[in-house]
Amino acid sequence: MKRLIAAASAVTHAAGQRRVGRHTYPIDPRDDLRALLGFDAVSGKSLAGRPVSVVISRSNSCARPLPMAMMHLSALLRELVLWTSAQFNLIDLPDPLCTGSSIMPQKKNPDVPELVRRQDRPVYGAFDGTLS
């Protein structure tokens, strides 16, 4: 969570990144844009700022912890499915997390852990897309 919060604050301070040149109108649309996009602040100097793509690709960015969290969640749910199997039968999941079989209605299939466990691949794909 610390990485996600740090990355969110780094991205929300990226408002105001623009070219060095200025216009002659006595307005500053950066503050309006900041409010519209929900950023915390406007950066002071455009040359000192970093593009959002650089922020995302850093190790403490918001994109990196999500695949790691999904990897750990997938591994945990894989163990949970194994522990609920007939071979081990160590855990009995509650009924809202399971479905019955059409052939054996007394059997409880851990469908929710199975479905969540399989969602790590799209997260990996989205993370790979942010890096490229």
CA distance 26 to 28: 7
Q: What's the pLDDT at 52?
A: 53
* pTM for the predicted model, two decimal places: 0.56
Residue type, 65: P
> Are 37 and 52 spatial neighbours (Cβ–Cβ below 8 Å)?
no
pLDDT in tens, the chain (132 residues): 776 676 666 655 555 555 555 666 666 677 777 777 777 776 665 555 555 555 555 544 566 788 888 999 999 999 999 999 989 999 999 988 898 888 888 888 999 999 999 999 998 888 888 776
| The dihedral formed by the CA atoms of 45, 34, 57 and 20, expressed in degrees to the nearest 10 | -30
pLDDT at 74: 94
6's CB contacts (< 8 A; 6+ apart) are: 60
Spatial distance between the Cα atoms of 121 and 28, rounded to a whole number of angstroms: 43
Q: Give the ranges where the chain is alpha helix by DSSP (H).
A: 2-12, 29-37, 52-57, 65-83, 111-117, 120-131
pLDDT at 104: 86
Token pair 């623009």: residue: 18
